[in-house]
């Protein structure tokens, strides 16, 4: 029976000439080298448009089955089926070897492509032949990044009674969400949702919270990673600090506050914000007078706890062993100085949305009153509670997003947070004139369209047209835009401009990707293994991604993805085993497996 099976391999033309293609010649010679193959057609060697001719070629080679190999081999399958039928063979015995599967083309992985081809030739499902080895899994998990995604994932795993190391670069967890005033579309206070979770993380017995730490290196294999963590010198003893704040009262050195996005100043010994977890002080070495010049030490003298502050503390490295890693490193906002036409950095009252988010927050620089930004005595731009309130505010959408000059993609959250900010302005200054300039209004989520309608009813002017420039005119800001619905140019004088800046991958995302062996997509976000079906898994075994580092998304989606990532981790912990990388399986092993399972046997 078996010796009647004769296989022909046809390579589609799509593989040829594709800029990122695999080497066609190598694949052809590999196919020729397989004893199971009767004939190999290169793209030019076969006219596939005419089933009649195709059938005669099949008949003269006495083929019984065809393997169609290529990038888009599915397109050729119907023609081959028809030709097989015309040649008197089973039309169903066409097997497709698509190199797009398992991203062989994209990763330019020749061995993977050969394995896919061999499995198709041998009529064995690839997954059967290429079963990844499984290794024992360490039940501890490392989570990189303490934003809402990292917090959510940590709690999911820790609540399942598994141990978590949560590593955060700054002095507190909370991330960007802690900086927001309200959330859309429910207008809940962001802190009211986030801080209970933060406190839960801080107190959880299963979570080893490592703030002011950075992951320096990862080695080992899935299920058993050796992770080197740099513990940056906090210079304040986490165990003994009581968070009284007397050190900060006397500290002479000042630096812009990261948490307030540079809108306020903080001291060199500081707590990022009052609800920080852990609620302990730390010293910023870059601005501390003692670290810079060796003279000062006021904080040590004032501290009521003995030996709590150690100004000479050095960075140290610790090594931990974990089974799984969740990457939740988040994003940074677009640097608005890059788009010079909007005058950010030139005019004090052109703000980014994140700055305005702090300004409008009750714990922000002005206690939640919307005020002009002016200069203090030293020339710093600060919001002062003594200033007047602006009467008219313009919000400009799509700064750095949907723009070929910066980022081509839509940042997804800006439309909604701009509407939210418009609402907050109307809430605080009811008679203020608020106008929004947008390209397209993307109110895509549950309750978002209703929110948009509500904001329109509140009297916010919504103007379709991308603002071209912001200029100063008699102490006010002149916003020039085309009103596309009205068909006219509008130049509006406003007191304050808020730029809805887009989201970008972090500057050091490339280093993180290199360290963990992750891939990045064309926009620089970490690549998921399958956007639709597997958005948390990566190509690396036991490393999952969650939150903004995978792509722009809002808070509900981030939380959902974090939970999904946690479920992936728990899955492997519960099974006690974790799959190794596909790319680590040698080609010979796959070939051996495939021949073992194959129904096609060659008689020696």
Partner 1 sequence: MSTRVDPNFKNTLMGYGRGDWNECFHCGNCTAICPLSENGFLFPRKGLRAIQMGLKDKLAGYVDPWLCYYCGECSETCPRDANPGEMMMTLRRYLTSVYDWTGLSGRLYRSFAAHLTVVFFLFAAIITSFLIFADFSIPANAEGIVEINKFAPHGLIASLDHILLGTLSFFLLTNILNMFIKVIIKDRSVRIPFSMYFIHVWEAIFHFLTQARQLKCEGKRTYWFSHWFLMSSYVIMFILIIFFLDWFQTDQIHPVWHPQRWLGYYVTAGLIWGTIYFMIGRYKKNKEMFKFSHHSDWIFIILLFLIAFTGILIHIFRLNGMALATYVSYTLHLAVEVPMVVTFVAFSKWSHLAYRPLGLYFANLKKAALRKQYNMQVAPAV
Q: Taking CB under 8 A as the rule, does residue 64 contact partner 1?
A: no
Nearer Cβ to partner 1, position 258 or 335?
A: 335
3-state class percentages of the chain: helix first, strand second, coil last, to nearest 5: 30, 25, 40
Member of 240, 341, 507, 530 binding partner 1 (CB under 8 A): 341
8 Å CB contact between 124 and 134: no
Within the chain, what is the greatest distance between any pair of CA atoms? 96
Least distance (Å) between residue 483 CB and partner 1: 8
8 Å CB contact between 421 and 429: no
Q: Taking CB under 8 A as the rule, does residue 483 contact partner 1?
A: yes
Member of 242, 484, 574, 602 binding partner 1 (CB under 8 A): 484
Which residues have CB under 8 Å from 386's CB, separation 6+? none
The window from 96-104, 259-267, 309-317, 481-489 that contacts partner 1 (CB under 8 A) reads 481-489
Least distance (Å) between residue 341 CB and partner 1: 6
Least distance (Å) between residue 405 CB and partner 1: 7
Q: Are strands 164-167 and 141-144 parallel, antiparallel or unpaired?
A: parallel
The window from 40-48, 326-334, 441-449, 458-466 that contacts partner 1 (CB under 8 A) reads 458-466
Cis, peptide link before residue 322, omega less than 30° from 0: no
Which segments of 12-147 does DSSP mark as H helices, in order? 24-32, 51-60, 77-86, 104-107, 110-122, 126-129
User: Which residue from 88, 65, 76, 62 is spatially nearest to 15, judged by alpha carbons?
Assistant: 76
Cα 111 to Cα 246: distance, rounded to the nearest angstrom: 63
H or E stretch covering 445: none
Q: Taking CB under 8 A as the rule, does residue 402 contact partner 1?
A: yes
The window from 13-21, 32-40, 424-432, 479-487 that contacts partner 1 (CB under 8 A) reads 479-487
Member of 468, 478, 564, 587 binding partner 1 (CB under 8 A): 468
Least distance (Å) between residue 482 CB and partner 1: 3
The window from 185-193, 194-202, 400-408, 525-533 that contacts partner 1 (CB under 8 A) reads 400-408
8 Å CB contact between 132 and 317: no
The C-alpha angle 524, 526, 529, rounded to 5 degrees, equals 130
Which residue bears the tokens 């005058």?
Answer: 343
Nearer Cβ to partner 1, position 195 or 481?
A: 481
Nearer Cβ to partner 1, position 79 or 468?
A: 468
Member of 487, 532, 533, 603 binding partner 1 (CB under 8 A): 487
How many chain residues touch partner 1 (CB under 8 A)? 22
Q: What is the CA radius of gyration of the chain?
A: 30
8 Å CB contact between 530 and 312: no
Q: Taking CB under 8 A as the rule, does residue 522 contact partner 1?
A: no
DSSP state of 391: S
Member of 388, 404, 603, 604 binding partner 1 (CB under 8 A): 404
Cα 435 to Cα 437: distance, rounded to the nearest angstrom: 7
Least distance (Å) between residue 218 CB and partner 1: 38
Least distance (Å) between residue 491 CB and partner 1: 9
The partner residues of 228 in beta bridges, in order of sequence, read: 217, 319
Q: Taking CB under 8 A as the rule, does residue 471 contact partner 1?
A: no
Member of 489, 596, 599, 602 binding partner 1 (CB under 8 A): 489
Member of 387, 469, 567, 583 binding partner 1 (CB under 8 A): 469
Site for partner 1, rule CB under 8 A: 341, 398, 402-405, 439-440, 464-469, 480-484, 487-489
């Amino acid at each position: 029976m078996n010796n009647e099976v004769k296989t022909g391999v046809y390579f589609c033309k799509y593989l040829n000439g594709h800029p990122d293609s695999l080497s066609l010649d190598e694949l052809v010679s590999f196919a020729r080298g397989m004893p199971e193959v009767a004939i190999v057609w290169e793209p030019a060697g076969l006219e596939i448009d005419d089933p009649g001719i195709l059938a005669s070629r099949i008949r003269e080679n006495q083929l019984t089955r065809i393997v169609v190999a290529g990038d888009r081999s599915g397109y050729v399958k119907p023609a081959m089926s028809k030709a097989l039928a015309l040649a008197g063979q089973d039309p169903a015995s066409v097997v497709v070897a698509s190199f797009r599967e398992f991203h062989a083309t994209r990763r330019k992985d020749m061995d993977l492509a050969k394995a896919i081809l061999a499995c198709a030739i041998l009529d064995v499902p690839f997954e059967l032949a290429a079963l990844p080895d499984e290794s024992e899994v360490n039940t501890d998990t490392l989570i990189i990044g303490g934003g809402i995604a990292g917090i959510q994932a940590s709690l999911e795993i820790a609540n399942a009674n598994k141990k978590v190391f949560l590593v955060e670069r700054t002095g507190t967890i909370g991330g960007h969400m802690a900086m927001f005033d309200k959330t859309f579309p429910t207008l809940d206070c962001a802190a009211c949702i986030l801080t209970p979770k933060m406190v839960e993380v801080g107190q959880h017995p299963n979570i080893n919270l490592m703030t002011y730490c950075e992951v320096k290196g990862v080695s080992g294999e899935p299920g058993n990673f050796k992770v080197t963590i740099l513990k940056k010198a906090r210079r304040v003893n986490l165990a003994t600090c009581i968070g009284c704040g007397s050190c900060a009262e006397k500290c002479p050195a000042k630096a812009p506050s990261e948490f307030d996005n540079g809108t306020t100043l903080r001291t060199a010994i500081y707590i990022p914000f009052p609800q920080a977890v852990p609620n302990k002080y730390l010293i910023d070495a870059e601005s501390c007078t003692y670290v810079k010049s060796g003279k000062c030490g006021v904080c040590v003298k004032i501290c009521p706890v003995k030996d709590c502050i150690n100004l000479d503390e050095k960075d140290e490295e610790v090594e931990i062993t974990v089974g799984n890693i969740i990457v939740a490193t988040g994003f940074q906002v677009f640097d608005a100085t890059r788009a010079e036409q909007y005058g950010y950095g030139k005019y004090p009252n052109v703000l980014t949305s994140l700055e305005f988010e702090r300004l409008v927050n009750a714990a922000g620089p002005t206690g939640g009153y919307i005020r002009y930004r002016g200069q203090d005595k030293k020339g710093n731009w600060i919001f002062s509670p003594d200033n007047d309130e602006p009467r008219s505010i313009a919000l400009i959408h799509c700064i750095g997003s949907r723009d070929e000059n910066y980022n081509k993609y839509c940042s997804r959250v800006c439309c909604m947070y701009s509407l939210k900010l418009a609402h907050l302005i109307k809430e605080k200054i009811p008679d203020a004139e608020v106008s929004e300039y947008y390209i397209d209004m993307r109110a895509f989520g549950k309750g978002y369209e209703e929110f948009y309608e509500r904001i329109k009813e509140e009297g916010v002017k919504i103007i379709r047209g991308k603002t071209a420039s912001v200029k100063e005119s008699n102490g006010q800001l002149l916003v020039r835009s085309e009103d596309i619905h009205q068909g006219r140019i509008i130049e509006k004088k406003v007191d304050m401009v808020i730029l809805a800046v887009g989201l970008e991958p972090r500057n050091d995302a490339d280093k993180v990707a290199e360290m963990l062996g992750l891939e990045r997509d064309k926009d620089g976000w970490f690549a998921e293994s399958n956007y639709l079906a597997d958005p948390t898994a990566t190509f690396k075994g036991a490393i999952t991604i969650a939150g903004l580092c995978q792509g722009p998304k809002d808070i509900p989606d981030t939380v959902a993805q974090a939970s999904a990532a946690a479920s992936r981790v728990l899955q492997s912990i519960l099974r006690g085993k974790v799959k190794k990388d596909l790319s680590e399986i040698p080609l010979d092993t796959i070939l051996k497996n495939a021949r073992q399972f194959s129904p096609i046997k060659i008689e020696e």
